[in-house]
Every structure is written in structure tokens, then in C-alpha cells.
Amino acid sequence: MKIRKSPGEIIFDTFNYIFLGLLCFTMLYPMLYVVFASFSNPIKLMAYRGPLWRPLEFSTEAYKLLLSYPMIWIGYKNTLIYVIVGTAINILLTTMGGYVLSRKNLKLKNPVMFFIAFTMYFSGGMIPTYLLVQSLGMIDTIWAMIIPGAISTTNLIIMRTGFHAVPDSLEESARIDGAGDWTILFRIMIPLAMPMIAVMILFYAVGHWNAFFNAIIYLRSRELYPLQLVLREILIMSSTENMTTGISDASDRFAVTELIKYAAIVVSTVPILCIYPFLQKYFVKGVMIGAIKE
């Protein structure tokens, strides 16, 4: 049966669609501008004023300069290692920690949760953390990029809440059949929490992909630099004329430098954006975790 809308509902829906359309445009246009600018002719781009709806005289000059730098491929390789290994360790530890803290018969659970939540508001600071990493022998190793942030307190609490929402009857039935904690965790809890775990994978992976501060502090060897640090190095080199030595005119050199910045944004952003469509369907399911009680 078709339900007729009142004039008030039609007006509300119209303004709602207009508002959401403007909101989407506000978020999408800056991304499109960067992409169009990165494929534009640098001279024409610098002289152009106003909104940019297409590349100005299609050119791949910025990408040629950017991708000709040998360190960028080393940065990609290192970042992929940090993302894959780091995210695997993150998910393993967060899942195990969330399962343990969700058990009702865990002794001293409340004090443990207090100390875990305490770290969300107070920390030892950068210098004590650096001294700890140094004392563990992780300076200038890949573990300095992975271990210090192995568990996110926020994600751990979300994981614990998700496991709490699983009906107790499932665990009781499994224990009657002789299942232990490991079997319950990997055969029952994790399959039921896959939407939540998929969201955690995205959060952790994005964090590792964008990580650069730890690399600045802990890494000394350029062979261990992640992509973000390599791109920072490229931007510094382009601004100091090291990557644009073949261009004699100062204004042309400045234009190419600006174009390299746009290309660097695209190179560092597009790969991680490609992951989102594969995990998008899990967000709706993840929101519902804990909404239904037995």
C-alpha cells in the first residue's frame, strides 16, 4: 500500500535531501580538487583561479617526479609490512583482551578495567615511552612501529562490550559439550563478532598506514622509513629544489613543487581508501552489536 505524504513531510524530505547533498559535496569536492590538480599542468594550475572541475591540460609530470624517487617504493614496502604485521598483532591482542575482560567470573575485573581506562586520560608521556622502547632494544627496528601501540584502549573496550553482548547460553552450551576457553573464543566468539573485528581491522590499518610520528622518533635507518616519512622527505626535497633541478625558472619550479604535494596526497591516500568498500557492509552490522539483549 502506498502511503501518501503530507505537505509537511514532503517539505522536510526536500530540505533533508538538499542538506545531505550539500554535505556530501562539501566532503567530496576537496578530494576531487586534489585529484584534478595532481593531473593538471603546473603552470596553468598556478594561474587558474576558481573551482576546479577537471584537470587543466592533463599531465602526469608530478607523478613521474614522485614515483622516480627510489625511496618511495621502499616506503610502500615498509608501510605494507607495518600494516599487515601490526594489524594482525593488534587484532589478536585486542580480541584476547576483550574476551578475558568480558568474562563475568574474572577476579579483580573492575580494578583491571579502571587501570586500562585510566590510560585513556593519562599517560607517561613521550620521554618515558621513548626510554622504555630504548630499554627494550626496539629503537631502529620494525617493532618500534608496532609494539608501543599494540592495543588501543578504546578498541579494547569496544571489543569487550561486543563480547559481553553474546548470549551466555551459547557459552554454557559449548562448555557442556567440553569446549574450553580457546575453543569458545575462536569457534564461537570471534565468528559472531566478525563485523566488529572487521571495523577494528580498518581502524588499526588506517592508523598504521598514516603513522609517521613514531617513525620520526624511533627510526634511524632510511631503509625502515614508512611511506608517510618518505613523502615528507620528498616534500622537503621538492621545496629545497633537489627534485626540480632541471627547471630553471623559479616560478615554474614553485608550480611543480605545489603539484608534487597534490600527487603525494593522492599516492598516500588512494590505497587505503580502496580498502573501505570491502569493509563498508560490516559497519551497519557493527553498530547493532549490543543493541539486542537476550
pLDDT in tens, 49-91: 777 788 877 877 778 877 777 788 888 889 999 999 999 999 9
**225 domain residue, yes or no:** yes
d(CA 195, CA 180) in angstroms, rounded, equals: 24
Q: Is pLDDT above 90 for 203?
A: no
At 293, the pLDDT band (50, 70, 90 cuts) reads: very low
The pTM assigned to this predicted structure is 0.77
At 25, the pLDDT band (50, 70, 90 cuts) reads: confident
**136 domain residue, yes or no:** yes
Q: Is pLDDT above 80 for 200?
A: yes
* Average per-residue pLDDT for the chain: 80
**231 domain residue, yes or no:** yes
Supply the Cα-derived Rg of the chain in whole angstroms.
Answer: 25
- In this prediction, residues 217-226 reach a mean pLDDT of 87
Residue 92 sits in which domain range? 71-287
The pLDDT value recorded for residue 285 is: 57
The pLDDT value recorded for residue 291 is: 46
**207 domain residue, yes or no:** yes
- In this prediction, residues 35-46 reach a mean pLDDT of 78
Q: Which helix (H) or strand (E) holds 271?
A: helix 250-273
Cell numbers at 211, concatenated: 603513522
The pLDDT value recorded for residue 261 is: 80
**199 domain residue, yes or no:** yes
**195 domain residue, yes or no:** yes
The pLDDT value recorded for residue 286 is: 53
User: Are the C-beta atoms of residues 250 and 213 closer than 8 Å to each other?
Assistant: no
If DSSP codes are grouped into helix, strand and coil, which group holds residue 3? coil
Of 276 and 240, the one with more pLDDT? 276
Instruction: Annotate 40-68 with DSSP letters as a single string.
Output: S-HHHHHH--S---S-SS---HHHHHHHT
- In this prediction, residues 134-153 reach a mean pLDDT of 88
At 267, the pLDDT band (50, 70, 90 cuts) reads: confident
Long-range contacts formed by 45-50: CB under 8 A, 24+ apart = 45/255, 45/258, 45/259, 46/251, 46/254, 46/255, 46/258
Number of domains in the chain: 1
At 282, the pLDDT band (50, 70, 90 cuts) reads: low
Q: Look up the CATH number of the domain holding residue 177.
A: 1.10.3720.10
**50 domain residue, yes or no:** no
Q: Under 8 Å CB-to-CB from 83, ≥6 apart: which residues?
A: 205, 208, 209
Q: Which residues in 257-294 are b (16+ Cβ under 10 Å) and which e?
A: bbbbbbbbbbbbeeebeeeeeeeeebeeebeebeeeee
Q: Under 8 Å CB-to-CB from 200, ≥6 apart: which residues?
A: 90, 91, 94, 155, 158, 159
**61 domain residue, yes or no:** no
